[in-house]
Amino acid sequence: MIIQDAEFGEVIVRRNALSTGIKFSVSTSGRLQMTVPGHTREFLAKRFLETHRAVIREKLPVKDPANQRARDAKKKMLTKKAKGYLPYRLDFWAQKYGYTYEKLRFSHAGTRWGSCTSQRVISLNIGLMQLPEVLRDYVILHELAHLNHMDHSEAFWREVGEHDAKYLAHRKALKAYSPGV
Ligand SMILES: [Zn+2]
């Protein structure tokens, strides 16, 4: 459920059968998010929002609606770019170094550039499209190496280093960027 609020913009209301009270947080898209018990009706959620307006204003860094729209537009643009580029780049490196993976997924998590599961599913963050190419390639090579090593062991890093001789510098440079959109 989404509540349109004049002050906070779109407020995401998540019903959670396990939750006993109402909790406020900020979603990854910068929207205000309310977690409410499963049976909570819309008018109650709205009333709660009304009575907590001052606290929310003070405690949560909610972006204004214009800002939310700008982020949505950016996310859409990055997703489009990512879909037109990352599958080909991932294939390029995979073929070059003889890796096979099951599937590529796109993510927009605020904390990780990529991941690789034991089912050989690689996820790449759409925020990679904002990075210099060498760093983007480092992330891709890093995730590909996880197909052979599901950890960050010495053997893992040795493999990354075989494909990206400057991986240490790239790993360090990556820290200056954040994957969040
Ligand atoms: Zn890793």
CA–centroid distance, 116 to ligand 1, in Å, is: 8
Q: What would the DSSP string read from start to end of 24-60?
A: EEE-TTS-EEEEEETT--HHHHHHHHHHTHHHHHHH-
Per-residue pLDDT tens digits of the chain, which is 181 residues long: 889 888 888 899 999 988 888 899 888 777 889 999 988 899 999 999 999 988 888 877 766 777 777 888 899 999 999 999 999 999 999 999 999 999 999 998 778 999 999 999 999 999 999 999 999 999 999 999 999 999 999 999 999 999 999 999 999 999 999 988 7
Q: 80: CA distance to ligand 1 center in Å?
A: 25
Interval between CA 115 and ligand 1 midpoint (Å) = 7
Amino acid identity of 33?
Answer: Q
149 alpha carbon to ligand 1 midpoint, in Å? 9
- The pLDDT value recorded for residue 67 is 76
Ligand 1 centroid–CA 157 distance in Å is 9
Closest CA to 139 of 167, 165, 181: 167
CA 136–ligand 1 middle distance (angstroms): 14
Q: What is the pTM of this model?
A: 0.70
- Domains of the chain, each with CATH number or no CATH: 2-63 (no CATH), 75-174 (3.30.2010.10)
Using the mean position of ligand 1's atoms as its centre, give its distance from the Cα of residue 73 in Å. 29
Q: How far is the CA of 93 from the centre of ligand 1 (A)?
A: 17
Helix (H, G, I), strand (E, B) or coil at 124: strand
pLDDT at 30: 76
Radius of gyration of the chain (CA): 20
CA 145 to centroid of ligand 1, rounded, Å: 8
CB 37 within 8 A of CB 20: yes
Q: What distance in angstroms lies between residue 124's CA and the mean position of ligand 1's atoms?
A: 12
Tell me how far the alpha carbon of residue 146 lies from the centroid of ligand 1, in angstroms. 7
The pLDDT, as a whole number, for residue 6 is: 83
Distance (Å) from CA 74 to ligand 1 centroid: 26
